[in-house]
Amino acid sequence: MRVSGQCLCGAVRYGGETEPQFQVKCYCTDCRKSSAAGHAAMMGFAREAIAVSGDLKEFHSKADSGADVARAFCPNCGTGIYAKNAAMPHLIFLRASTLDDPNLFAPQVVVWAARAPSWDPVTPGVQAFPEGPPRG
């Protein structure tokens, strides 16, 4: 699939010809706050498959899982573009809200579902984990 997207002001763009390894809705506290919504919708791709252009700023924090996470955003308009999780160094998590074609996103799994606010419920019929997915 051809995946492409950009920030609100257009200063940051990304693209690639690749399939997502997974598509996830995350309700963890950090994702809710960084997305300014009830959850963050993300598509996980192999890092080397996605080219990003434009200046980005990164915010680093420790996730609820304990992993270090870098969240990249446009310093001009503030749009969150992607996250990189140190526990999964081969992946880049593109924010589905930045896709040129938002209909490419189809959630396959929900994580931290126990933290979903009542006004943003978990999608019925999608596999959901109360916290992070089991490792192993």
Domain ranges of the chain: 2-128
Pick the CATH number of 2-128 from 3.40.47.10, 3.40.50.170, 3.20.20.140, 3.90.1590.10: 3.90.1590.10
The band of 135, judged by pLDDT with boundaries at 50, 70 and 90, is low
pLDDT of residue 133: 74
The answer, yes or no, to whether residue 25 has pLDDT greater than 70, is yes
**Beta-strand relationship, 51-53 and 40-46:** unpaired
Mean pLDDT of the chain: 94
Q: Residue 118, SS3?
A: coil
Cα gap 24→113, rounded to integer Å: 11
Q: Residue 102, SS3?
A: helix
Residue with tokens 């933290």: 115
Mean pLDDT confidence for 105-120: 96
